[in-house]
Amino acid sequence: MTYVDGFVLAVPAANKQAYLEVAARMAPIFKEFGATRVVEGWGDDVPDGKLTDFRGAVKATDDEVVVFSWIEYPSKEVRDAANEKMRSDPRMKPQGETMPFDGKRMIFGGFVPILDE
């Protein structure tokens, strides 16, 4: 069974191209480390909720777009090994001021698929 890392973050709309460039640069690295698929979704229909919603989860401002992304791995073991490699790979070091989003507001987690049709 596969394993999925999921991410939700807020990106300033003006930084869409810069975000895409970072994501395109990182995807091959994730695949080098064992990922089978990397998906980035730019928010298009992300409604405000009554109790909670994606925008609130990442404290998105009016000028930001919610990004929903995920990375698929063949197993949790492959994902764990990939995370270990990422910690020591200089290509994965935080880019600080040049990052096109505020990483402190990103939410993420690892998931075991229970239905995949």
Kindly indicate the confidence band of residue 92, based on its pLDDT and cuts at 50, 70 and 90. Answer: confident
pLDDT at 61: 97
| H-only helix segments in 1-117 | 16-32, 54-57, 76-88
Task: List, in order of start, the domains of the chain with CATH numbers.
Answer: 3-111 (3.30.70.100)
User: What are the CB-based long-range contacts (under 8 Å, 24+) for 55-60?
Assistant: 55/10, 57/8, 57/107, 58/8, 58/9, 58/10, 58/105, 58/106, 58/107, 59/10, 59/105, 60/10
pLDDT band at 98 (very low <50, low <70, confident <90, very high): confident
Say whether pTM exceeds 0.85.
yes
Mean pLDDT of 39-66: 97
Q: How distant, in Å, are the alpha carbons of 60, 84, 92, 95, 116 from that of 100?
A: 14, 24, 15, 9, 32
**What's the confidence (pLDDT) of residue 45?**
97
